[in-house]
Chains A and B, each alone.
Chain A
Amino acid sequence: MPVDRAEIVIIGGGVSGLSSAYFLAKAGKDVVVVEKGMVGGEASGRNGGMISERTDEPALIPLAVESVRLWATLDDELGFPTEFIHQGRIQVAVSEEEMGDIFTERDHAQRHGISVEQLDPSQISELIPGISGRTLGGLFFANGGHANPQRAVQAFAWAFQDLGGRLYQNTAVTGINVKDDKVTSVETTVGDIAADFVVAAAGPQTALLADMVGVHVPVAPARVEIIATAPLDPLFDIALVGNGLYGRQAARGNLLFGGGAHEWIDVDLTSDPAKPNTPLIRNIARRLAELLPAVADVPVIRSWAGIVEQAPDYMPIIDIPDSPSNYIIVTASAHGFGIAPATGKVVSDLVLHGKSDIDISGLTLNRFSDLTPDWRQNRGWIPAHH
């Protein structure tokens, strides 16, 4: 028997779930967010904080463009700092191969009407002091920037609570009850919560939750790594991509950069095994020193790893399955942080109106209808034997 009820139960206290919760609560809905650990404890609090208009991913552009617009309003909207810095994103090439990507990206951006400026090496040096003299060229995207994931997730959570939303942390989902093609309640470690609508925004665990209601969500979890240096005086406030890395200089001055090989893993709904770094952090350090040779002697003081989920086409899934028909699936394929504000709006629209003005037609689940159940094995997206 349900011990609690809400109009909407959102599973997952990451940035997508909390953004959705915020916009639904703002629309006057009674919302409960269930989070197995603490808010932003997984990928939402462990990512690089990059925000852009995703010129490389046409299906994502409407969501990403709207998100950048929303990011610029969030500090005031939520009442808490997100550290959003709207100084754009720069992508530099230090090899012929990367230069090829630059041309492709430029063409993409122009085709989709996204503001982009091609840079020569001297322009790059002006924007990014200390950058390698080996840059061949680059692109500057004025719309975009970066924010602090941990602060932004907490900002959404607090603002949600300020609107009367209920946030249950350290609460795991153990089952989902369905009757007549509708979810009726969510079973959790603190009891059943009856709901009119359920949103599953649980990162890689979204697939396991979907299994409970008979829906196959094809995503594979992967572990990725980031390093942090000691703080430096301000060098640049533009999000920086190049030499196989992505990253930023945080408001405090630390350089935070990630990249390199990911490792496919598996997750479950209850355990929380360590997310270790590997000696890959040395290679990331090397690439960062190559990219910014002027600061090659800054100490690395920390590193961390996070787990992201990937759909076969590396794109988010935001959709309501045919059955159960009051169940929204949100999984982001590692784009989640940047697009979170618009994701929240879309989810809110879907719950309230059954559709959204933001075009998510490229993010539906049925694009994988031809996928065979053994797709992970076929692609090699499976964990090594341990």
Chain B
Amino acid sequence: MESRPLVVVGAGVSGTAAAIEAAKAGVPVTLIDENPVPTSMAGLNVPLFFGQRFNNVLRDRALMMERVAATNEAQYEAISEAEEAGVDIQLGTCVWGAFRNSQNSRLLDGPQIGLADHERSWMMKYDRLIVATGSRDLSFGFAGCDLAGAMGANGAHSLMSRYQALSAQRMVILGGGLLGLKTAKMALDNGIDVAAIVDIAPSMRGEKTLATLLQSKATELYTSHTVKQAVGNNGDIQSVVLVEIDDNLEPIAGTEKVITADTVCLAIGLVPNIEILSLLDCDLTFKSELGGYVPTHDDRMRTSVYGVFVAGDAAGFHEAMVHNPDIARNQGRIAGIAAAESLGATTKGFPPLKGEMSEGQRGPTQVHTIWKQWLHSLANAAGQDTFACQCEEITRSEIIGLEPPRYLEWESEQMNRRNLQTQLKDNPVNPNQVKRLTRAGTGTCQGRNCREQVALLLAEESNTDIADVPLSTYRPPLRPLPLNVIWPDDESEDVRNEWPKWFSPNNKVLG
């Protein structure tokens, strides 16, 4: 098995900065990034909510490799610098698993990650790991959200900047915070019409000057509005119905507006990608101002697990980070230097803090309150019968009813008497239990697109603070990998010959 002193996961701003700093200190660094992803993955909204809004150029893997490496000029310089500093960059390579010895798993030959490209998988041991996996889009269900063209801000950003492959003509953006306004500006710069920016609040939260600029480009700003429905033809969004809402987030009859658009971009919030940290059993705490569950870390970006560091959005995302990439870059530099020093390398010390800001400057402190209001407005406008879990097509009302999946066609008096409320009398709210019974979150995306929505729904129904709703478990593989990709193509004869039968007296003892 390959073994590396330092592996950095994610070649975004923070991961690249981390890799450069560690390499400058003389540490051999491996920098891994899953982009470009195979088209089959992108079609499953992996790793981001692409909403089928990528064009055919995505199939040209060689070209995508070039673009991912070269598109963003600043990033290009950073990656060139990384190469000069002796960083081994592996693009098109995802991390689908992370394993270390612990109480119930003791036979591993050291901590290791599972990697895969579009054809095969392999394991890699590490001494130090920096998790700089960024963030993903918050996704909420609304009527028509399963049509092609419903996508997320990070997905749109990635298709515009990394891939230059965003196939959208006219966009409606949900979310009037900095994330939404910046996404609108970027779309306009890429020649995409932005028909409207929608927010449930009476005023846009994002920068006034930016909002004014967008208005001058014929973008309508709809405050106190929400989405009632995306209307499609042949599976593609053609128009979006907005509706005005009152102070109670209830739709006001007769205020519907039909906006012609082929794309609805959710830019309400971003969620830190903590999957790898969760698999490694790093301590996670709920911090609404940072987007939910985030790893605890010290001022050297060390997590609770020895040898594992975190940087950038994965450590916690706030809106000021959209504005100021120095925040993530600085975290990356610190993590890179700290990892190098912990390996015994000599560095020039830690950089002065740059871009850090006080809590009030970061963005909203109660992010989930805003998210909850959005979810309310969507439910009020379109009812509870829209999908919360799109993979398994589970509606919000089916979750509230704790209903067995429709394909079981189960009907009984006894079941009719059971619902989420009766379950809550027995047990504190538990997303894993709801997942088992309703199957919400058990689909191909493994809850990437629905876990926040389900957690908010459960918090609401159980009158629980969202911070007290446990994290729904992550399990490997973190990416949907075909059997013939995740399998070991170098399986040894020993493994084959010693494969035991199910607890039989004839078995060899395997630890």
Residues of A at the B interface (CB closer than 8 Å) are 38, 40, 45, 78-81, 83, 101, 150-151, 154, 158-159, 161-162, 167, 169-170, 222-223, 229-231, 244, 246, 251-252, 259-265, 271, 273-279, 281-283, 285-289, 295-305, 307, 310, 313-314, 333-334, 379-381, 383-386
For B442, the chain A residues whose CB sits under 8 A away are: 252, 302
Q: Hey, which chain B residues are within 8 Å of A170, CB to CB?
A: 427-428
Is B114 a contact partner of A282 (Cβ separation < 8 A)? Answer: yes
The answer, among B97, B105, B444, for a CB contact under 8 Å with A263, is B105
In the bound assembly, the distance between CA atoms of A222 and B503 in angstroms comes to: 10
CA distance A385 to B433 in the complex (A): 33
User: Knowing that A78-B414, A259-B499 are A-B contacts, what are 7 other residue pairs whose CB atoms are under 8 Å apart, sorted by A's residue number?
Assistant: A38-B433, A162-B414, A170-B427, A252-B392, A282-B114, A299-B444, A302-B446
Residue of B104, B123, B430, B439 touching A307 (CB-CB under 8 A)? B104
* Residue in B106, B415, B480, B502 whose CB lies within 8 Å of A386: B106
Given the interface pairs A223-B104, A279-B114, A281-B476, the reply to whether A289 lies near B483 with Cβ below 8 Å is yes
B258 interfacial by beta-carbon distance below 8 Å: no
CB atoms of A380 and B483 under 8 A apart: no
Contact with A along B151-179 (1 / 0, CB 8 A): 00000000000000000000000000000
The residue that B486 contacts in the complex, of A79, A282, A333, with Cβ under 8 A, is A282
Contact A265 B104 (CB under 8 A): yes
Residue of B nearest to A279 (CB): B123
The residue of chain A having its C-beta at the shortest distance from the C-beta of B509 within the complex is A380
- B167, chain A: closest CB distance, angstroms: 24
Q: How far is the CB of A31 from chain B (nearest CB, A)?
A: 15
A277–B123 Cα distance when bound, in Å, is 14
CB contacts (< 8 Å) of A262 on chain B: these are 500, 503, 510
Smallest CB–CB gap between B451 and chain A, Å? 14
Interface 1/0s, chain B 469-511, versus A by CB < 8 A? 0000001110011111011100100010011111111000111
Confirm or deny: B99 has a beta carbon within 8 angstroms of a beta carbon on chain A: yes
Q: Which residue, A158, A229, A288, A304, has most C-beta atoms of chain B within 10 A?
A: A158
A386 contacts B103, CB within 8 Å?
yes
> Which segment, of B80-88, B204-212, B287-295, B400-408, faces chain A?
B400-408
30 CB-based A-B contacts, threshold 8 Å = A79-B415, A161-B426, A229-B483, A230-B443, A244-B499, A252-B405, A261-B499, A263-B104, A263-B105, A265-B106, A271-B103, A273-B103, A276-B105, A277-B475, A279-B114, A281-B476, A281-B477, A282-B121, A282-B486, A299-B444, A299-B482, A299-B483, A300-B477, A300-B480, A300-B486, A301-B444, A305-B104, A314-B504, A380-B511, A384-B106
Q: Which residues of B contact A154 (CB under 8 A)?
A: 436-437
Question: How many B residues, CB 8 Å from partner?
Answer: 64
Closest to A314 in B: B503
Interface residue? B74 (CB, 8 A): no
**Residue in chain B with minimal CB distance to A158:** B418
**Residue pair B484, A296 in contact (C-beta under 8 Å):** yes
B358 on the interface (CB 8 Å rule)? no
Chain B residues in 8 Å Cβ range of A333: 503
Cβ of A63 to closest chain B Cβ, rounded Å: 17
CB-CB under 8 A from A275, the residues of chain B are 104
Q: Which of B279, B427, B501 contacts A276 (CB 8 A)?
A: B279
B112 at the A interface (CB under 8 A): yes
- Which residue of chain B has its CB nearest to the CB of A264? B511
Whether, in the assembled complex, B306 has its beta carbon less than 8 Å from a beta carbon of chain A, the answer is no
Interface positions, chain B 102-119, Cβ under 8 Å from A, are: 102-108, 112, 114
Which residue, B103, B408, B439, has most C-beta atoms of chain A within 10 A?
A: B103
Q: Are B503 and A310 in contact (CB under 8 A)?
A: yes
Whether, in the assembled complex, B101 has its beta carbon less than 8 Å from a beta carbon of chain A, the answer is yes
Residue on A nearest B418 in the bound complex, by CB: A158
Q: Which single member of B104, B428, B436, B495 contacts A283 (CB below 8 Å)?
A: B495
Which of these, A38, A78, A310, A380, contacts B430 with CB under 8 Å? A38
Residue of B nearest to A40 (CB): B436
Chain B residues contacting A380 (CB-CB under 8 Å) are 509, 511
Is B326 part of the binding interface, using a Cβ–Cβ cutoff of 8 Å? no
Establish whether residues B477 and A303, one from each chain, have CB atoms under 8 Å apart when the complex forms.
Answer: yes
Chain B positions 23-43 with a Cβ under 8 Å from a chain A Cβ? none
Scoring B residues 127 to 144 as 1 if CB is less than 8 Å from chain A, else 0, what string do you get?
000000000000000000
